Amino acid sequence: MIVVSILVVVLLTLPAGSSSRSVTAKPALYGTTVTSTNLPTWFEVAQVSVQKQTNFTFEFTLAGALPSKPSLLGGQMLDWQIAIDTNRTTAAAGWPYGNSTPAPPEYAVYLWWDGQHFAAGVVDRTPLLNGGNVVITPVAYAIHGSRIDFSVRAATLGNPISMGFLGITDQWAPASVKIVSTTKILPRSGGLMNQGSPEAPFPSAMAKGCAYTDILFYEFVGVDCWAKWSFAEDLHSPATAVGPPGWLDMRSTSVTGGLGAFTVSIRLRSELPAHPSVLGEQVVGWAVGFNLNRTLCACGWPFGNNDSADYMFLLWWDGLHFASMIANRTQIGTGGPLVLTTQNVQFDETGFRFTVPSSRIGDPSAFGFVSASGIFDVSPIHIVSPTNYTALNSSFPNYISSYEANAPLCSAQWSFGECYTAWP
């Protein structure tokens, strides 16, 4: 069970003529702060629940209250989606994922926002299996602060006796549908999903009332919670899929230039407990990667070949100890050694921060930074104490929460939501 969310990268560049290696003169970036922010809380999934009492009631709970006129976050349409799988043997290609991308959900319950209007509907994707087109049926919805309620007739979802469901948010450009009115919603092709939030359910250990969980949208997108009913017993207690805890949700990362050092501050959605849960897995981690050379790939530990940061700050928790370190990964792409050096970290009620000498991350004249958090069912590190640890085999996390392209001062927008920013 692996969930992946795209990382944001912010490129920081020293002004022309400055020397990145001089510690005798004050660098031009001294005192300047660049901040990368995460998606707003009203676009993050806290939990999703479903209950059947003749018809279906879905509750989509967000991490913050949904505004009456939310920002489109630089896109053309936002949606809050509950993807529904009623048949594990089928996966139709087509809207909204493209004709070359089979996707397991037969149905999806949506709330759409186009910048002017909200509209809700159920998308029936089953006609795609036989060469037909999706059918959108408007449904009733209500927004109560941070919760969106949907009421859906059982027949609209094919009268299922079981379903897997997964809560997601998406940003589209161009829009995935055209809202003619609240009773007329038309699908549009050619949409590109730019960014989305961490999904619910989080890991299976966080799900409540689920008969079981399995993979939805293949192994790199999401895990779904399966709830079962029977014709004889129509009433069913709610099954709830829970999103990530606030202390694992990285809200922003700020980098401030100093004299021969950088101070990095990470803000979390809620205070990090002194002894957090490992959420049913082996280890929890928070990371800030520093990418000095975008043309080279320092791919490897701890995430396998899924990132290219030359240096990485890592904070680990294995249920007994916190351990924080700088990983020098510049040589592992060519078979060289990985070098881990203990890095002090300071905690406060909103997150943590650390100050790293510029020499420890290669005295960069420019770098991009990447922030992420995740949980690992196979630990990539063995921690004896906060200063005594050993790297193990690379292990891609079964859940990763990260930034989208929502940083100020972006000078260029690249693929996969990467945001590159110059120092002022």
Q: What is the pLDDT of residues 48-62, one digit of tens each?
A: 888 888 888 999 999
Q: What is the pLDDT of residue 10?
A: 39
* pLDDT for 27 beyond 60: no
Burial 358-387 (b: 16+ CB within 10 A, else e): bebbbebbbbbbbbbbbbbbebbbebeeee
The separation between the first and the last C-alpha atoms of the chain, rounded to the nearest angstrom, is 42
* pLDDT for 36 beyond 70: no
**How far are the Cα atoms of 62, 63, 67, 272, 365 from residue 143, in angstroms, in the given order?**
11, 14, 10, 30, 48
Confidence of residue 228 (pLDDT cuts 50, 70, 90): low
Q: What is the pLDDT of residue 9?
A: 38
State both tokens at 241: 């899929």
Residues 330-355 pLDDT 10s = 888 778 899 999 999 999 988 999 99
* pLDDT for 380 beyond 60: yes
- What HEC string does 32-92 produce? CEEEEECCCHHHCEEEEEEEEECEEEEEEEECCCCCCCCCCCCCCEEEEEEEEECCCCCCE
Residues 60-92 pLDDT 10s = 999 899 999 999 988 899 999 998 888 888 888
Report yes or no: 148 and 142 within 8 Å, Cβ to Cβ. Answer: yes
Mean pLDDT of the chain: 77
Give percent of the chain above pLDDT 90: 34
Which among 239, 72, 58 has a CA at the least distance from the CA of 148?
A: 58
| Residues linked to residue 250 through DSSP beta bridges, in sequence order | 268
